[in-house]
Amino acid sequence: DRLSEWIEFRATFLDEALRHDGLGDFLGHTDCSQCEKAQGIFRCIDCPSGRMLKCAECIVALHQSLPLHRIERWNGLFFDKDSLQNLGLRYQLGHSGASCPSPQAGPKHFLVFDTSGPHFITIDYCNCSNEPLKNWTQLLREKWFPATHSRPQTVFTFDCLETFHELTLQGKTSLYDYYHSLLRRFDNAGLSNPINRYAEFHRVFRMWRNLMALKRAGRGHERGGIDATSNGELMVECPACPHPGKNLPNDWEKAGPLLFLYTLYVAVDANFKLKGKQRNLDDVELMPGWCAYVPEAPYQTHIANNVDQPEVCAQYIF
């Protein structure tokens, strides 16, 4: 039994885990491992060599293209949380972190949500060409999805959105739980100023899910683009249902007594709760008739031309 074998070494495992909370190999020797001149009191949690202590100047220089790495500072007793922003890092967009001849300062409090949690960073937009890209386009080039395209101050990394997409499909994880898990990675004790970007995250993920549906349907490669999407085109066909010409034998119509094997079963269900109706929601439709629901205009025309029918089931309520 592997667990029984592990019990013998459990104390050593605990010692090694605690070792990462202290100076480790740098006990009594805190010179910067990079320049070996200044005092090294900073380390990076995310770098492979993160346990190597560095001075402020060196750790900023090593993270010019890694603005979302998490930094800790040794205060003489333990490692305390710090940030590259506090150490003076400015991340340059449009040049993969390299310098720009004509930088444009970004927002003062720029917030990036990643799988490691939220990060406050300082950014500079690129303004060095005759026709510079729009700010939100520069953010998308970094794989950062802006919460708004007018004056973006909050973004969500593609990796953050992809991770939640997988979690909600596989584990039925709610956006509320995922969002607050990210906040706990940033501050599990609730000592920092509260960050409230839940509404922005909810809106951005709707956009992301819509874009992924369009992308997987090939709409980005069609000449007509998104506007030429036809009704039902984004719907994923059930691979288990019979589709002539796709997953049925060529002579399936001649199966005789076994024809029932190729029967299509359709079940109709409904939502009798209508929780959203009580909130007077008038939501924006991102896929009008492109997926499971029919377009709104033909639907309204249909129900307007059909008289109300008495509800039979209401007559049998006791």
More confident residue, 122 or 28: 122
Q: Provide the pLDDT confidence category of residue 275 given band limits of 50, 70 and 90.
A: low
Asked if residue 307 belongs to a domain, the reply is yes
- If asked whether residues 124 and 211 sit together in one domain, one would say yes
Q: Assess whether 41 and 122 both reside in one domain.
A: no
Domain boundary residue among 59, 82, 105? 82
Q: Residue 3's Cα: distance from chain center in Å?
A: 35
Residues 245/248/253/258 CA torsion (nearest 10 deg): -170
For residue range 84-97, list pLDDT tens digits in order.
Answer: 999 999 999 988 77
The residue type of 226 is I
Tell me the residue ranges of DSSP E strands in the chain. Answer: 42-44, 71-74, 79-82, 90-92, 103-105, 110-114, 117-126, 144-146, 154-157
Residue 188 sits in the same domain as residue 124 = yes
The answer to whether 122 touches 106, Cβ cutoff 8 Å, is yes
Q: How confident is the prediction for the chain on average, in pLDDT?
A: 90
Q: Is residue 264 part of a domain?
A: no
Residue 72 forms beta bridges with which residues?
Answer: 43, 81
Last residue of a domain, one of 61, 82, 103: 82
Q: Answer whether residue 209 shows pLDDT above 80.
A: yes
What is the arrangement of strands in the sheet containing 79-82, beginning at the earlier edge strand? 42-44, 71-74, 79-82
| Residue 274 confidence (pLDDT) | 65
65 and 126 inside one domain? no
Q: Is the pLDDT of residue 57 over 70?
A: yes
Residue 29: its pLDDT value, please? 79
273 pLDDT exceeds 90?
no
Which tens digits make up the pLDDT trace of 121-168?
A: 999 999 987 788 999 999 999 999 999 999 999 999 999 999 999 999
Of 55, 124, 129, nearest in space to 93 by CA: 124
- Mean pLDDT of all residues in 5-31: 91
What per-residue confidence (pLDDT) applies to 315? 58
Q: Is residue 5 part of a domain?
A: no
What is the Cα–Cα distance from 257 to 106, expressed in whole angstroms? 71
Quick one: pLDDT at residue 189?
A: 87
Residue 131 lies in a domain: yes
Give residues with Cβ within 8 angstroms of 57, minimum separation 6.
Answer: 35, 38
Please say if the pLDDT value at position 54 is more than 90.
Answer: yes
Handedness of CA 163, 168, 173, 174 (dihedral sign): positive
Residue 307 carries which side chain, given as an amino acid letter? V
Indicate the pairing of strand 117-126 with strand 144-146. Answer: unpaired
In this prediction, residue 231 carries a pLDDT of 93
Give yes or no: residues 180 and 237 share one domain.
no
Are 59 and 142 members of one domain?
no
pLDDT, tens digit, for every residue of 61-88? 999 999 999 999 999 999 999 999 999 9
Is 208 found in the same domain as 237? no
State which residues form the domain around 26. 16-82
Q: Is residue 282 part of a domain?
A: no
Amino acid 258: pLDDT? 94
70, 138: one domain: no
Higher pLDDT, 138 or 283: 138
Structural contact between residues 44 and 59, judged by C-beta atoms closer than 8 angstroms: yes
Q: Spell out the residues 6+ positions from residue 298 whose beta carbon is closer than 8 angstroms to its own.
A: none
Judge if 126 and 50 occupy the same domain.
no
Q: Considering the domain boundaries, does residue 265 fall inside one?
A: no
145 bridge partner residues: 156
What's the pLDDT at 283?
81
| Boundary of a domain, candidates 155, 184, 216 | 216
Answer whether residue 172 is part of any domain. Answer: yes
The pTM score is: 0.87
Please give the tally of structural domains in the chain: 3
In a domain, 268, yes or no: no
**pLDDT tens digit sequence for 167-188:** 999 999 999 999 999 999 999 9
* 231 and 152 in a common domain: no
- Cα dist from 109 to 155, 191, 214, whole Å: 12, 19, 33
- Is residue 232 located within the same domain as residue 313? yes
* Cβ-contact 83, 71 below 8 angstroms: yes
User: Which of 206, 232, 217 has its CA nearest to residue 291?
Assistant: 232
Do 206 and 246 belong together in one domain?
Answer: no
Report how far residue 224's alpha carbon sits from residue 219's, in angstroms, rounded to the nearest whole number: 8
Mean local confidence (pLDDT), 287-314: 82
More confident call, 3 vs 27:
3
Instruction: Name every residue whose Cβ is closer than 8 Å to that of residue 160 and which is 6 or more positions away in sequence.
Output: 113, 114, 115, 182
Q: What confidence score (pLDDT) does residue 116 get?
A: 96
